[in-house]
């Protein structure tokens, strides 16, 4: 988990520092920094960081990070979607069940996915009103709720 956070921080730094045109170049730079990752892992990291490609003003495209205002606005949107859709949060072991209002399971699952919590392995939205969250081994529902409350102070148990 800590390695992932360090890797994400390094990816941000590399994109800000270098003119990176491809994942292959970025993988090489990460390797020089001591991170050996697959292309699939890097793709997930880039998606999580909301990295895009913009014109370099010449003949190609380079990776770019979203602006801080844009990132904060996107995060606020996910938080609003979560608060608008959830009814309750319960857990057993490393499985969390989030009950949602009818039709809100997809947006609540997407919000949890995009809050970037390293404790979350993944989510599964039910057809209508339930989201299952699988936590990493050793992470409890209580710890998940503490992290969620750090992201969403308005969250109630």
- Reference 12, options 57, 46, 54, 44; nearest CA is 46
pLDDT per residue over 91-130, tens digit each? Answer: 999 999 999 999 999 999 999 988 878 889 999 998 889 9
The region of weakest confidence among 25-29, 68-72, 114-118 is 68-72
Alpha-carbon distances, residue 134 vs 128, 141, 154 (angstroms): 18, 10, 23
Whether CATH 3.30.1360.40 fits 69-151: yes
Q: Is the pTM of this model over 0.75?
A: no
Please, are residues 108 and 125 in contact by the beta-carbon 8 Å criterion?
A: yes
**pLDDT on residue 2:** 57
Question: How much is the pLDDT for 69?
Answer: 55
User: Exposure of 93 by Cβ count < 10 A (0-12 exposed, 13-18 middle, 19+ buried)?
Assistant: exposed
Give pLDDT tens digits for 33-65: 999 999 999 998 998 888 888 877 777 888 888
CATH topology for 2-64 is Arc Repressor Mutant, subunit A (1.10.10)
From-to residues of CATH 3.30.1360.40 in the chain: 69-151
Provide CATH 1.10.10.10 ranges for the chain. Answer: 2-64
Which token pair is 128? 């209508």
The whole-number average pLDDT for the span 142-153 is 90
Share of the chain above pLDDT 90, in %: 57
User: What confidence score (pLDDT) does residue 4 get?
Assistant: 82
SS3 103: coil
Quote the pLDDT of residue 31: 94
């Amino acid at each position: 988990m800590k390695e992932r956070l360090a890797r994400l921080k390094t990816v941000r730094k590399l994109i800000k520092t270098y003119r990176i045109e491809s994942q292959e170049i970025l993988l090489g730079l990460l390797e020089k920094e001591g991170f050996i990752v697959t292309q699939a892992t890097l793709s997930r990291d880039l998606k999580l960081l909301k990295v895009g490609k913009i014109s370099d003003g010449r003949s190609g495209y380079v990776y770019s990070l979203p602006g801080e205002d844009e990132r904060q606005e996107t995060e606020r949107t996910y938080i609003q979607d979560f608060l608008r859709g959830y009814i309750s949060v319960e857990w057993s072991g490393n499985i969390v069940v989030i009950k949602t209002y009818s039709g809100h399971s997809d947006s609540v699952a997407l919000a949890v996915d995009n809050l970037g919590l390293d404790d979350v392995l993944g989510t599964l939205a039910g057809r209508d009103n339930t989201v299952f969250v699988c936590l990493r081994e050793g992470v409890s529902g209580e710890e998940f709720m503490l992290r969620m409350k750090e992201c969403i102070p308005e969250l109630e148990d």
